[in-house]
Structure 1
Amino acid sequence: MKNQHEHHTMGGHKMPAGKHVAHNDDVMDHSKIKHGSNAHMGMSEHDHHAVMIADFKKRFYVVLALTIPVMMLSMQIQQWLHLDINFSGSSYLLFALASVVFVYGGWPFLSGWMSEMKAKNPGMMTLIGFAITVAYAYSAATVFGLKGMDFFWELATLILIMLLGHWIEMRSVMGASNELELLVQLMPADAHMVMGDQIHDVKTDTLKEKDVILIKPGEKVAADGIILEGESYLNESMLTGESKSVQKVKGDKVIAGSINGNGSFKVTVSHAAKDSYLSQVVKLVDDAQKSKSQTQLLADTAAKWLTVIALVTGIGTFLYWYLTGQTLAFAMERMVTVIVICCPHALGLAVPLVVAKSTALSAKHGLLIKNRTAFENSRKITTIVFDKTGTLTVGKFEVSKIVLLDKGVDEKELIRLASALEQNSEHPIATGILQKVKDLKITIPKAENFKAITGQGVEATVAGKKIRVVSPGYLKEHKFTMPDGFTANDSETVVFVLIYNKLAGYIALSDKIRPESAEAIKTLKDENIKSILLTGDNNKVAASVSKTLGMDSFIAEVLPHQKLEKIKELQGKGEFVAMTGDGVNDAPALAQADIGIAVGSGSDIAAETAGIVLVNSNPKDIASLILFGKATYRKMVQNLAWATGYNVIALPLAAGVLYNQGIVLSPAAGAVLMTVSTVVVAINASLLKVKV
């Protein structure tokens, strides 16, 4: 029987942590986040974004103030408005104001261009930097003698709209990063450390294994550990997605970052803050946000090509109009508009924004994504293979009935004697019997001369009596007559208690089916996904569980090493298989499956072979995961379709294909369109939700 808190020890298929598509100051790079208890102290990713947003905001308002006089002094605007603001040196004043707009307002784009050139990775900043430099250089030349009309006002409005677009975009990106930052900030900075009779406040990141800390009512738990004394109800929803408060008593595990209710208790710290469950989650989310899936790589490639297309089309547009007799100013304006409109901004953000949002949202709902490709591929699943114990069932054997066969023994005595033999065992049956004894407040007697009967039970001497706790197989082998009226229930496991070789009674235990299992299987059916039960249990138990839940089929009496073969068989039939498991013996099957989902790992999230880890053992989470995977992929496709579709329509208009029909886009109109396309992508990503 599997222990559901065992580590998966096999090496996993971990995605390399890459960086998102390069754009201003690595907007999507989360590498600066600090993990652990002091994560929100110092310059975190959140602070970094806040500083950048403030910078864009300030530049926007300065440029806005300067753009008004620039427009008033421009000949083109004066002609449109029938104004005449002309005085000695007005053109030089216009040049001076536009120069400030170009240098101060354009600086983020010019410095970004230099960085991209240094990295030999031309992208969005290269396009904007090139466009504004060409517009500025040409306009400046007209002030000092070149024949033609300047377009300083177009330059100013172009930079103004670009700054606004970046400001809005960075706020959207920060929204996606905030989800992760909220996880980071769950860890309290200080802890109340118990030293003898004294309590000292210490920094959480100084805590180490075996330290004892006090958690007061309403506080956040400062470290993972075991309750040493006291009890309370804890809210773990931000960590596990489980909305109801959980009662915790002496001996129970607690997770750092969970919120205490009205009780107070002492905790023995299990490990340092950097190894806590929360720190592992933050690192996992961070890695997943930075890892690149196939969809992301596709978007990156498209953005690179778009940069090349923009430059080639821009120069081609300039040459075409100039060589067909248009003015230098007109040809320049067309080139600048094409390059601006072609910025692969929306395309570059289409996937990263969805990635950041979906990964952090998943973590808040207890779905931890380790491998982005596995998560995105969840939409392809045709068959889910479920391990039974701890996934579809509660994973805990509970005593369902005690039947007496000897009048000289009562129920309490029978279970008391059985518990003496089971007290040293880790077996789920033993755990179930011991829990019943605890519930009945029975003192467990001492067992002597303890001996295991291989595969069939245990024996020992308790209070001078020779006691055996054995399986039905033992009775058959030793020619015992089965008691009258005994029928083995498909979903029950029975152990018989023998006193001095005489049947005294039997204890039936059952592993209850989770109430959420049937709903999860129904959801999968609605999505046309087959569900198969794979278990080491006998055929009768497997058939009963499978039928009760309405599953498509079951594979029973499978040994751990055979699970891998069964997954291969399904894949051989062309199925796209997801495997859910919770124990170390599921690791090879999890690795073989197209998508490995580790279930019920609780605070052990180092399930290396699984691409996805579900914190709770709730099978509904598996259905939620698949639905969320599909929703996430839809958002990515929508964003990519919008980002490319917009360029397909806007680029020819910018180049002037409808010039003869009187339709022509100015650089400022191009900038507006580009900004709108980016904002649409950002808003669409922010609408992503987890259905639970």
Structure 2
Amino acid sequence: MRTNKGNSKSPRPLRVPRGRRHTRKVNRTGLYQSAIRQSFLKLDPRIAVRNPVLFVVWLGMIVTALVTINPHLFGTIAADSGQQRLLNGIITLILFLTVLFANFAEAIAEGRGKAQADALRSTRSDTIARKILADGSIESVSSTALHRGDRVKLLAGDVIPADGEVIEGIGSVDESAITGESAPVLKQPGTDIASSVTGGTRLLSDELTVRITQDPGQGFIDRMISLVEGAERRKTPNEIALTVLLAVLTQVFLIVVATIPSIGNYIAGFLETSLGPGVANTFRASSSIAILISLLVALIPTTIGGLLSAIGIAGMDRVAQFNVIATSGRAVEACGDVNTLLLDKTGTITLGNRLADEFIPVNGHNLEELARICLAASLFDETPEGRSIVALARNLGANLDSDDQPGEGVPFSARTRMSGTDRDGEEYRKGAVEAIKGFVRSRGGSVPVSLDQAQERVSRLGGTPLAVCRGNDIYGVIYLKDIVKPGLKERFDQLRRMGVRTIMLTGDNQITASVIAAEAGVDDFIAEATPEDKIEVIRREQSQGKLVAMTGDGTNDAPALAQANVGVAMNSGTQAAKEAANMVDLDSDPTKLIDLVTIGKQLLITRGALTTFSVANDIAKYFAIIPTIFAAAGIGALNIMGLKSAQSAIVSALIYNALIIPVLIPLALKGVQFRPLTADQLLRRNILIYGVGGMIAPFIAIKIIDEIISAIGLR
């Protein structure tokens, strides 16, 4: 295992995320209209009670509405009832807007996901398909009547009726309804991705024969719709803990404010005997029911209470934009706590389209002989690698006697790490060098020194060496060339600064693995890895208190996906893998794991930043409001902000409290832009920006609003 040290460059802003985002056309006008409608529907007390902080505001709104109708409901007041009714009405309106704005924040976050589902639903229509019957004839049937295993004929211009696999023909498909990209995609049989087609997309050219792979209601579009329209989103453990904390803070302030009337009556009695009834009445006015409710709402953490759900839903929405299905918000949140990334080399760190670049003869054989053996060993290999070996062999003039029987294919397996052909009584094999060595020795053959030399040469070039043999005779090495994806080294550096360690797993030998690891910039690597090694690495990391994320697609990956804290299964993978994972990537792109970690960290940072801002707001409002109440008792020196009255100070704070929620909605939905820093560095940065900023903003805003209130004569 090898460790590559990260560099010490200063961190730069990380524009998150960098992967391919799937944008779809959304009716923005309809989105906002629906969100406004939902905001009013969420005023239902059965819904409001789910958020303890906002439910207190909702109850306060009801009480102030009652005292607006009857100012003497809770006893005779000293102030003019008409003026008090106006003040109570203004407070009721502000409280109503506070709840409404918080509801809007949650509704707009939910609406964005539902709008995506509506856009997807528009692509799902009941089309007529040309079903190929067993006798080869064609029957027109509804797309809803198609089942797994059925074959359909597609002509240019047809809407693909259901998810399937191309088994014949080559054609261009418009997938913009799914991916948001207008460029057509070439589809042909023989590969997992290039042969896969999605129901609702359109064939632009030529003809295709497709085998249906999903029953009605289980296709790609159906799964995307069920993601956003499924069961109600459950709160994550961190959200629950934060909600409990906010509820406790609300109860504390509720007790504090509830004691003010009794204390106020005592102070008012003292003021009446010592300073006269005028000052006493002024103090009593500042302690009315409506003012006390306003004080309570201004002090409790309504900002984060109103935005908390929106932040969590927005995190799920950002994941969905990357065509990733998360089983719960807990899975998205876990991405932000990940310490270790387990990455397969092929397809994740490298481009994955390894192609045969050169044949290297050994053991006294010539290039012509090696090319013929390579061709024979790859006859039944339908992978891009296998087809590239066949193409290179034929380009070098290799051919097999047409009279020979085609033989029987031997598929590749993770256990044997080789594949090949049995024909004419001979065993042709190609595979990992160590696997071929073992195969040859088991047949009584010997391993030439030149094989190790050829292997080392290919490995030092960063390629993958495959040994080729016939029976117990080794003929040479195939050089499979692969390319490290551009930009990964920078991204791994950024993850390293955030405390995330990257481990590359590969079936390649130590030399090849070390070359690729150094070029990609991963922290560690494990060479000649087997599927069993994945779960061992995960358990080892978890035993050290770390959270691990990994990707997988095979049945043999299922135990590791279930063991990992974040397991991302490929949609092209087996059902067992998808059931074991807590996320499914519908594009089957392993690189997205890096984006998901970044999205998770952005979610946690956004929640932490807005919580810091909200708490700082509450502290600032406390020191802005409380002194003005005592100033009403004749202690004017406490009113250092020079606010006009206790009533105007509290109403100003209440107005600021309501307006700050819609101001912060874009930040809650989009997320806080962050730098790849450690947890301690992020904490200091949040305190500096959102803590200090949260302390300063209320003082400035309350003073400005107080001046406006005074100017229009509402104090």
- Per the TM superposition, whether the score is higher than 0.5 is yes
Counterpart of 1:686, as a letter, is L
Distance between the aligned counterparts of 1:178 and 1:437, measured in 2?
56
Task: Answer with 572-581 or 638-647: which moved more.
Answer: 572-581
- 2:337–2:600 contact (8 Å) kept in structure 1: no
Cα offsets for 1:44-81 (capped at 9, x unmatched): 9x989845724878xxxxxxxxxxxxxxxxxxxxxxxx
- Can you list the C-alpha shifts for 1:364-414, whole angstroms capped at 9, x where unaligned? 124444453454344444433323344324455532324577779578755
Do the aligned residues in 2 keep the contact of 1:232 with 1:265 (CA within 8 Å)?
A: yes
Percent identity at matched positions?
Answer: 19
Instruction: Give the drift of 1:552.
Output: 2.7
Letter in 2 for 1:190: S
Q: Which residue among 534, 537, 543 is the counterpart of 2:514?
A: 543
Residue of 601, 607, 611 corresponding to 1:636: 607
Amino acid at match of 1:636: R
Q: What SS class does the counterpart of residue 494 from structure 1 fall into?
A: strand
Q: Which residue of 1 aligns with 2:314?
A: 357
Is 1:296–1:351's contact at 8 Å kept on the other side of the alignment?
A: yes
Superposition RMSD on alpha carbons, in Å? Answer: 4.8
Distance change (3 Å), C-alpha of 1:585 and 1:467: closer
Aligned partner of 2:446: which letter?
A: K
Amino acid at match of 1:469: R
- Cα distance, 1:508 vs structure 2: 0.9
Matched, 1:246 2:217: no
* Number of the residue aligned with 1:469: 429
SS at structure 1 position matched to 2:91: helix
Partner of 1:17: none
Residue aligned with 2:186, SS? strand
Q: Deviations over 1:577-608 (max 9, x none)?
A: 44444433333334444x33426444768634
Structure-to-structure mapping, 1:166-181, within 5 angstroms: 166-181=99-114
d(CA) in 2 for partners of 1:208, 1:602: 18
Alignment of 1:105-184 (within 5 A): 112=45, 123-134=53-64, 136-137=66-67, 140=70, 142=72, 148=78, 149-150=80-81, 151-184=84-117
Conservation of the 8 A alpha-carbon contact between 2:341 and 2:550: yes
> 2:502 touches 2:522 (CA, 8 Å); kept in 1?
yes
Opposite residue 429 of structure 2, the aligned amino acid is V
Matched, 1:331 2:313: no
What secondary structure does 2:646 align onto? coil
Q: Is the 8 A contact 1:299 1:347 kept in 2?
A: no
Partner of 1:75: none
**What secondary structure does 2:120 align onto?**
coil
Q: Which amino acid in the other structure matches residue 487 of structure 1?
A: A
Deviations 1:413-468 (A, max 9, x none): 55543344xx2x68897576467689999999743477899957655335xx8463
What is the one-letter code of the residue matched to 1:341? A
The 3 A distance-change label for structure 1 pair 205 and 192 is: closer
- CA deviations over 1:595-650 (Å, ceiling 9, x no partner): 33426444768634444444556565333333332222221112212223323333
Give the superposition deviation at 1:186. 1.4
Q: Which residue of 1 aligns with 2:478?
A: 508
Alignment of 1:391-402 (within 5 A): 391-395=348-352, 397-402=354-359
Contact 2:68 2:85 in 1 (8 A): no
**1:115 and 1:628 mapped to 2: Cα distance?**
29
Is 1:298 aligned to residue 241 of structure 2? yes
Deviations 1:15-44 (A, max 9, x none): xxxxxxxxxxxxxxxxxxxxxxxxx9xxx9
Cα distance in structure 1, aligned partners of 2:157 and 2:146: 21
Deviation at 1:316, TM superposition (A): 2.0
The aligned counterpart of 1:186 is: 120
Contact 1:600-1:616 within 8 A present in 2 as well: yes
How do 1:340-351 residues align onto structure 2 when only pairs under 5 Å count?
Answer: 340-342=297-299, 345-351=302-308
Taking structure 1 as reference, are residues 183 and 230 closer, same or farther at Cα in structure 2, changes over 3 Å only? farther
Cα separation, 1, equivalents of 2:56 and 2:246: 12
Structure 1 counterpart of 2:239, which letter? Q
Residue identity in the other structure for 2:247? K
2:446 to 479, 500, 511: 479
Q: Distance in 1 between matches of 2:95 and 2:107?
A: 18
Any residues of structure 2 matched to 1:80-479 within 5 Å, and which? 112=45, 123-134=53-64, 136-137=66-67, 140=70, 142=72, 148=78, 149-150=80-81, 151-184=84-117, 185-187=119-121, 188-195=123-130, 202=142, 207-210=146-149, 221-227=160-166, 230-234=169-173, 245-250=184-189, 252-256=195-199, 265=208, 267-284=210-227, 290-325=233-268, 326-327=280-281, 329-332=285-288, 333-342=290-299, 345-395=302-352, 397-402=354-359, 414-420=373-379, 423=380, 433=389, 446-448=405-407, 455=416, 460-462=422-424, 466=426, 468-469=428-429, 471-475=436-440, 477-479=444-446
Give me the whole-angstrom Cα distance separating, in 2, the residues matched to 1:432 and 1:544. Answer: 23
CA shift in 2, pair 1:368/1:526, >3 Å: farther
Conservation of the 8 A alpha-carbon contact between 2:569 and 2:581:
no
User: Taking structure 1 as reference, are residues 186 and 451 closer, same or farther at Cα in structure 2, changes over 3 Å only?
Assistant: closer
Normalised by the length of structure 2, the TM-score is 0.67
Distance change (3 Å), C-alpha of 1:226 and 1:399: same
Equivalent residues of 2:153, 2:209 under 8 A apart: yes
Match of 2:14 in 1: none
Report what 1:561 is aligned to.
Answer: 532
Distance 2:73 2:515 in 1: 88
Per-residue CA deviations over 1:528-586 (Å, capped at 9, x if unaligned) read 53322234443333323223323333233444334333333334455554444443333
SS at the partner of 2:70?
A: helix
Q: Is the 8 A contact 2:129 2:152 kept in 1?
A: yes
Unaligned runs of 5+ in 1: 1-39, 58-106
Residue equivalent to 2:17? none
Q: Determine if contact 2:359/2:476 at 8 Å carries over to the other structure.
A: yes
What is the distance in 1 between the residues matched to 2:92 and 2:156? 53
Distance 1:397 1:125 in 2: 59
**Contact kept? 2:377, 2:420, Cα under 8 Å:** no
* Larger deviation, residues 406-415 vs 295-304: 406-415
How many residues align structurally?
587
Q: Is the 8 A contact 2:355 2:481 kept in 1?
A: yes
C-alpha distance in structure 2 between counterparts of 1:227 and 1:582, whole Å = 20
Give the distance between the partners of 2:74 and 2:437, measured in 1 at CA.
103
Consecutive unaligned residues in structure 2, runs of 5 or more = 1-25, 132-136, 269-279, 431-435, 676-715
Contact 1:176 1:353 in 2 (8 A): yes
Which string of whole-angstrom CA distances, capped at 9 and with x for unpartnered residues, describes residues 246-290 of structure 1? Answer: 321246112345566566756443223432233334444667981
Q: Distance in 2 between matches of 1:268 and 1:161?
A: 60
Partner of 1:664: 646
Change (3 A) 1:575 1:141: closer
8 Å CA contact 1:230, 1:250 repeated in 2:
yes
Which stretch of the first structure deviates more once superposed, 448-457 or 621-630?
A: 448-457
Aligned partners of 2:171 and 2:186 also within 8 Å: yes
Give, in angstroms, the shift of residue 664 of structure 1: 1.6
3-state SS, counterpart of residue 264 of structure 2: helix
Encode CA deviations 1:166-202: one digit per residue, 9 max, x unaligned: 5544444343223322431314231432246989695
**Which residue identity lines up with residue 295 of structure 2 in the other structure?**
V
